[in-house]
Amino acid sequence: MNTRSLKPWLYLLPAILFLTAFMVYPLFDVFVYSVEEGYNFASQTYSGTGIYNYSYVLHDQYFLQAVKNTFILVIITVPLSTGIALLISLGLNSLPKLKDLYQTIFFLPYVTNTLAVGLVFMILFKKTPYSEGFVNLLIHFFGGESVDFIEGPYWAKMFVMCFYTVWIVLPFKILILTSALASVDQDLYKAAKVDGTSRLRIFYKITLPMISPMIFYLIITGFIGAFKAYSDVVAIFGVNLNAAGMNTIVGYVYDMLYGDSGGYPSFASAAALILFAIVLTITCINLLVSRKKVYYD
């Protein structure tokens, strides 16, 4: 009997061990760091405990800029990417031919290195004294004014950032949604067809409720993912994000820890915990909403 009750824990042991060491323990540790004031990394000493680190971070204009950038990014890209992914998956699902080809093409961005493609995006959007950049040529072609998207006005930079984020997160969402659409019971559609239901009505009354769990899964993970944006930003705007005014919260944490202005684990921890609080709140709200709106059978 004893060996029997021990066995499951044996199976779980490696996972628990790694998770405790690299997820749970750090969580406590980050909290401890974040309340230690005047922590010195070299001598491992600190002068006292309190909430000074939080107030410093919250008053740091770079952090506020990062929060603003992150929120704009999240609010624009999450609904947009989920919506486009839904449209594309619906389109894909209705295709009689070439479905596999399109599916493969749409999946491509997932397989590539974010940094490499980010650099390509930067070159495409960049305007230097030597070259107009491809996107500006397109704008000229349609009769617009050229804009420097990388070092120019704020909205232009934000546009590149959002466009790139949508471009990079779509494949995963399309993958999940197409498989969700494929698993909807075809009898429901046949019944609706017999009744002469309109396309829009079929979508609202059958398709949407049936795939709503997956949509909410995508929205929740989308929020979490967008809040964690960092390497994409680096790829487009370079390492010095503060100067570009395009830093994200994670970028701020990273800079505080390791960048040129780095060496402040306390501030980094405080910022990271603030981010965690934001993500947790939004995830909880999402879960509450989903409980009301999502259809489970």
What binding mask, one character per residue, do residues 29-68 give for other proteins by CB under 8 A, x or -? xx--x-----------------------------------
DSSP assignment of 119-145: HHHHHHH---SS---HHHHHHHHTT--
Q: Is 182 in the site for other proteins (CB under 8 A)?
A: no
Task: Give the relative orientation of helices 114-125 and 154-182 as an angle to the nearest 10 degrees.
Answer: 130
The one among 2, 3, 14, 296 contacting other proteins by CB under 8 A? 14
Considering the complex, state which of residue 38 and residue 154 has its C-beta at the smaller distance from other proteins. Answer: 38
**Nearest distance, CB of residue 84 and other proteins, angstroms:** 8
Which is nearest to 155 in space by CA: 247, 246, 78? 246
The one among 40, 114, 146, 212 contacting other proteins by CB under 8 A? 114
* Cα dihedral 234, 240, 242, 246 in deg (nearest 10): -30
* Tokens encoding 78: 């999450």
Considering the complex, state which of residue 75 and residue 87 has its C-beta at the smaller distance from other proteins. Answer: 87
Helices (H), 245-264: 249-258
What is the helix, strand, coil percentage profile of the chain, to 5?
A: 75, 0, 20
- Residue 44: what are its φ and ψ, rounded to 5°? 60, 35
The one among 91, 193, 240, 293 contacting other proteins by CB under 8 A? 91
Task: Tell me which stretch binds other proteins (CB under 8 A): 56-64, 147-155, 205-213, 270-278.
Answer: 270-278
The one among 238, 257, 263, 290 contacting other proteins by CB under 8 A? 257
Considering the complex, state which of residue 54 and residue 106 has its C-beta at the smaller distance from other proteins. Answer: 106
Tallying the residues shown for the chain, one arrives at 297
**Interacting positions 194-233 with other proteins (CB under 8 A):** 224, 227-228, 230-231
* Tokens encoding 23: 């997820």
Which is nearest to 203 in space by CA: 214, 217, 192, 191? 192
Using DSSP's 3-state secondary structure scheme, residue 36 falls into: strand
Q: At a CB cut-off of 8 Å and minimum separation 6, what does 69 contact? A: 158, 161, 245, 246, 247, 248
The one among 40, 279, 290, 294 contacting other proteins by CB under 8 A? 279
Task: Tell me which stretch binds other proteins (CB under 8 A): 45-53, 145-153, 187-195, 252-260.
Answer: 252-260
What does the alpha-carbon distance between residue 108 and residue 59 come to, in Å, rounded to a whole number? 42
Q: With CB under 8 A, what is the number of residues at the site for other proteins?
A: 73
Q: Is 240 in the site for other proteins (CB under 8 A)?
A: no
**Interacting positions 126-145 with other proteins (CB under 8 A):** 130-134, 137
**Nearest distance, CB of residue 187 and other proteins, angstroms:** 21
Task: Tell me which stretch binds other proteins (CB under 8 A): 73-81, 101-109, 182-190, 203-211.
Answer: 101-109
**Nearest distance, CB of residue 282 and other proteins, angstroms:** 10
What does the alpha-carbon distance between residue 70 and residue 274 come to, in Å, rounded to a whole number? 13
Which is nearest to 229 in space by CA: 156, 149, 170, 161? 161
The one among 42, 94, 194, 292 contacting other proteins by CB under 8 A? 94
What binding mask, one character per residue, do residues 67-86 give for other proteins by CB under 8 A, x or -? -----------------x--
What does the alpha-carbon distance between residue 223 and residue 206 come to, in Å, rounded to a whole number? 26
What does the alpha-carbon distance between residue 284 and residue 290 come to, in Å, rounded to a whole number? 10
The one among 1, 2, 3, 15 contacting other proteins by CB under 8 A? 15
Considering the complex, state which of residue 154 and residue 252 has its C-beta at the smaller distance from other proteins. Answer: 252
